[in-house]
Amino acid sequence: MDDAYYMTLAMEEAKKAALEDEVPIGCVIVKDDQIIAQTHNLKEHLKKTTAHAEILAIEQANAALGSWHLDDCTLYVTLEPCMMCTGAIVQSRIKRVVIGAPDSRWPGMTHLLEAFTYNHTIQIDFSTLGTKCAMLLSAYFKKKRKH
């Protein structure tokens, strides 16, 4: 499997979120070509500030591996992680993050990793499906503004 395949799965999760009237962000975590977590935003449904797709996926991956260390894992997410999720990604020792759409509204992962020194280095790549990821978000917010 390749990055496009896993990002497509993350996009499917984002579409599920939109159907549940959640901000359409999906996340998949892979280790050794095996999916160990797959989820989407559930803030509204769970009524939890921290129920971002990345946090929920990290929790699933922790349970799957029986460890808080997610060494050698790749996280695929349709929107650049926020400050909270970036912190969780650093703390979990995820090796690589593949981002769909960049987030220009908030200081996200790329800004935070460039601005500060951490005890863990994360490889960041942007997906070739970034435009499609951005379109999911745009369509969702356009529909919300109409109502």
**Eight-class DSSP state of 69:** -
Residue stretches of the annotated binding site:
52, 82, 85
Residue stretches of the annotated binding site for Zn(2+):
52, 82, 85
Percent of the chain with pLDDT over 70: 100
**136 φ/ψ angles, rounded to the nearest 5 degrees:** -60, -45
Residue closest to 109 by CA, chosen among 85, 73, 74: 85
Q: What's residue 65's pLDDT?
A: 98
CA–CA separation, 51 vs 47, rounded Å? 8
Q: Kindly list the catalytic residues.
A: 54
Q: Is the pLDDT of residue 27 over 90?
A: yes
Q: What's residue 73's pLDDT?
A: 98
Residues 123-134 pLDDT 10s: 999 999 999 999
Q: Is the pLDDT of residue 144 over 90?
A: no
Domain residue extents for the chain: 3-142
Q: What's residue 98's pLDDT?
A: 98
pLDDT: is 113 or 19 the higher one? Answer: 19
Task: Give the DSSP per-residue string, 39-98.
Answer: EE--HHHHT-TT--HHHHHHHHHHHHHTSS--TTEEEEEEE---HHHHHHHHHHT--EEE
CB distance 121 to 144 below 8 Å: no
Mean of per-residue pLDDT scores for the chain:
94
Residues 93-111 pLDDT 10s: 999 999 999 987 777 888 8
Q: What's residue 13's pLDDT?
A: 98
pTM for the model? 0.95
CATH superfamily, region 3-142: Cytidine Deaminase, domain 2 (3.40.140.10)
Residues 54-95 pLDDT 10s: 999 999 999 999 999 999 999 999 999 999 999 999 999 999
